[in-house]
């Protein structure tokens, strides 16, 4: 993990400069406990660190290691059952833990502010953005409402949002825009420290890249310090000045970012770094290329020229048609995976719902083992299709019933879809499924409830539940996006084993080109309902031809190219240019291959290499 952009002398000089500065925040021997009905658990154990003016300090670690608990303690938001039992939190030398209510009122927002993990949930859905920003300013500053509105407009422009949209409500903004509003709120009173608790976790890679670059630009311009909390060590390595790594409440090491990435002191830190999948990861070469014979054979499932349109209400009596998919075609082959890659709103999940027959296509055909789905009309044929095509959902925390045991979650599909001679036979099959997804000891796991398992374990239960039905095809809708980076590879390796040993075909839906290359033999890139490039995954990763594919690849975190270097190179000109057009090519506005035809007709399919296609008027 060598970083050629940072040498040791520069790294040491930077560290000395930080030490010479007066720390803006010091955490000393902080300990925090959670008080349960039956036991007391220690979430943070004697943690100490300092943050200096203008510094970005990253705090990395898996879920449950105590990162967010520390963030809430710094903001004095810890409440029962959490309890700060020892230590100090010093802001410019004053102990925040001794502040009274009036002092806390000045400390929060004006000195330290917090950007929460999910801006979708942290904004009030029934209050306009203008009211939320202006109320924050007016509650802390003796200024007029007109001056507060001027400040609100300035903040919107700082985060590249149209200030004329201040009167709109949170639901009228995308997830990335709402996170930008959360950052604007955090900057409203010009704090010296902003705490960002997983600010990009729920966002796709393109929006995530934009948010990180915007935070960095604002920090450089305004000079505030950042405590950046994430489980993604690779993203921190290109963004933070220093990184602290936590495990089970203990701060294992803290050092300049380049050293933590290139030469970690602790084995656990190395493990976190190794879990990061790169686009040139050698492990991805394990995938066997699809042979010509396989390509000519009848696929298990195929979409042919599928369109999907939805009607949206416009006024009291009229409706507007929204085209979610346009002329989408691809094949799912036995024992192979097709990755469907694109940012949020591109139509990936709509494709999965059509394949699972939740939505009927507006036009085009769906074929299962060579038979058109319109011919599957009998109850038995529909039931057989539903058994053959199963889905793994994105969120393992909500896809399992919290009141039922793991054993019951597996028992239910077995009883519905299969015949067993005895109760013992069902129990044996439950144990076999748990062993298949590597959840052992099986007897103990079957007796547990979902809240007693980690996110990765819960996703394995969801996989076992799907396998209980013995499907031919699994539609995996972002199955690793809600998991820590350290858990993702394990889940993908399990799916890889099922693909190879059981011959299951996969549609792997993701926004991450790196995991697509690791798991899927083929990749199709979807943008606003159009497949713009498709071919072998390794080919697309090494030699992307369409500008939107290059944008997705550019958005993958790269610790070898720190974010300051990216910003010096200039913002990717392809970012933020994708505007929907009523007619013609949806990505034509700033495309370098633009022709006159682009504005009024859709681009044709162009073959640019063996099994490599793009949709464009000119091969770039």
Q: Is 144 found in the same domain as 92?
A: yes
pLDDT score of 61 more than 70:
yes
Q: Is residue 285 part of a domain?
A: no
pLDDT in tens, 471-499: 999 999 988 887 777 788 888 999 999 99
Residue 123 structure tokens = 């904004």
Could you tell me if 223 and 24 are in contact, meaning their C-beta atoms sit under 8 angstroms apart? no
Q: Is residue 584 part of a domain?
A: yes
Q: What is the pLDDT of residue 519?
A: 93
Cα gap 580→578, rounded to integer Å: 7
Dihedral (CA of 257, 259, 261, 262) sign: positive
Q: Which of 275, 309, 341 is the last residue of a domain?
A: 275
Q: Is 251 found in the same domain as 392?
A: no
Q: What is the pLDDT of residue 91?
A: 96
Q: Is 40 found in the same domain as 155?
A: yes
Number of domains in the chain: 2
Q: What is the pLDDT of residue 562?
A: 65
Q: Is 107 found in the same domain as 256?
A: yes
Q: Is residue 282 part of a domain?
A: no
More confident residue, 427 or 382: 427
Whether pTM exceeds 0.95? no
Q: Is residue 560 part of a domain?
A: yes
Q: Is residue 289 part of a domain?
A: no
Give the domain extent around 509: 299-403+449-615
Strands 505-510 and 337-341: parallel
Q: Is residue 294 part of a domain?
A: no
Q: Which of 243, 275, 307 is the last residue of a domain?
A: 275
Those residues whose C-beta lies under 8 Å from the C-beta of residue 3, and which sit 6 or more positions away, are: 237, 258, 261, 262, 559, 560, 562
Q: How many other β-carbons are positioned within 10 Å of the β-carbon of residue 364?
A: 17
**Percent of the chain residues past pLDDT 70, beyond the cut:** 86
> What's 187's domain CATH number?
3.40.50.300
Q: Is residue 423 part of a domain?
A: no
* Average pLDDT over the chain, rounded to an integer: 85
Residue 336 structure tokens = 């192979």
Q: Is 101 found in the same domain as 233?
A: yes
């Amino acid at each position: 993990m060598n970083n050629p952009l940072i040498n040791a002398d520069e790294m040491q000089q930077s560290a000395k400069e930080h030490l010479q500065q007066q720390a803006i925040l010091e955490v000393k021997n902080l300990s925090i406990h959670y008080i349960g009905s039956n036991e007391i658990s220690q979430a943070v154990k004697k943690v100490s660190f300092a943050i200096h003016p203008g510094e970005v300090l990253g705090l990395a670690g898996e879920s449950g290691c105590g990162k967010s608990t520390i963030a809430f303690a710094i903001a004095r938001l810890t409440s029962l059952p959490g309890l700060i039992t020892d230590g100090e939190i010093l802001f410019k030398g004053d102990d925040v833990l001794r502040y009274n209510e009036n002092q806390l009122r000045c400390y929060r927002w004006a000195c330290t502010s917090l950007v929460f993990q999910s801006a979708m949930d942290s904004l009030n859905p029934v209050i306009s953005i203008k009211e939320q920003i202006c109320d924050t300013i007016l509650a802390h500053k003796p200024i007029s409402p007109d001056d507060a509105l001027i400040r609100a407009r300035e903040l919107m422009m700082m985060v590249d949002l149209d200030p004329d949209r201040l009167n709109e409500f949170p639901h009228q903004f995308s997830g990335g825009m709402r996170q930008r509003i959360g950052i604007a709120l955090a900057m409203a009173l010009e704090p010296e420290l902003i705490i960002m608790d997983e600010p990009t976790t729920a966002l796709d890679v393109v929006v995530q890249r934009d948010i990180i670059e915007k935070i960095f630009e604002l920090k450089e311009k305004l000079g505030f310090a950042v405590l950046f909390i994430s489980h993604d060590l690779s993203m921190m390595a290109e963004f933070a000045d220093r990184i602290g790594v936590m495990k089970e409440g203990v701060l294992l090491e803290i050092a300049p970012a380049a050293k933590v990435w290139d030469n970690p002191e602790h084995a656990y830190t190395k493990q976190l770094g190794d879990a990061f999948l790169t686009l040139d990861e050698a492990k991805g070469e394990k995938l066997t290329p699809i042979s010509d014979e396989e390509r000519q054979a009848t696929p298990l499932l195929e979409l042919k020229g599928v369109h999907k349109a939805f009607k949206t209400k416009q006024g009291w009596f009229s409706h507007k048609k929204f085209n979610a998919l346009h002329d989408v075609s691809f094949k799912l082959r036995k024992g192979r995976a097709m990755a469907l890659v694109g940012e949020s709103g591109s139509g990936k999940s709509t494709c999965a719902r059509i394949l699972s027959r939740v939505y009927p296509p507006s036009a085009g055909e769906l074929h299962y083992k060579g038979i058109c789905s319109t011919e599957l009309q009998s109850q038995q044929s529909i039931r057989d299709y539903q058994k053959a095509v199963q889905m793994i959902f994105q969120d393992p925390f909500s896809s399992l019933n919290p009141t039922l045991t793991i054993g019951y979650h597996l028992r239910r599909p077995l009883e519905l879809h299969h015949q067993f001679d005895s109760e013992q036979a069902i129990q044996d099959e439950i144990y076999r499924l748990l062993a298949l997804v590597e959840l052992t000891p099986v007897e103990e796991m079957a007796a547990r409830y979902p809240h007693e398992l980690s996110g990765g374990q819960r996703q394995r239960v969801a996989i076992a539940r799907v396998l209980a039905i013995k499907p031919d095809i699994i539609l995996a809708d972002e199955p690793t996006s809600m998991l820590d980076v350290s858990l993702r590879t394990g889940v993908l390796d399990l799916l890889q084993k099922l693909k190879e040993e059981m011959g299951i075909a996969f549609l792997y839906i993701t926004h991450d080109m790196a995991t697509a290359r690791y798991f899927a033999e083929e990749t199709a890139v979807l943008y606003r309902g159009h497949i713009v490039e498709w071919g072998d995954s390794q080919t697309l990763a090494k030699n992307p031809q369409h500008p939107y594919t290059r944008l997705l690849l550019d958005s993958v975190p790269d610790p070898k190219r720190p974010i300051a270097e990216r910003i010096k190179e200039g913002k990717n000109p392809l970012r933020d240019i994708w505007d929907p057009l009523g007619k013609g090519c949806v990505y034509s506005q700033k495309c370098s291959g633009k022709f006159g035809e682009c504005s009024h007709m859709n681009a044709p399919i162009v073959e640019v290499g063996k099994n490599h296609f793009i949709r464009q008027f000119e091969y770039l």
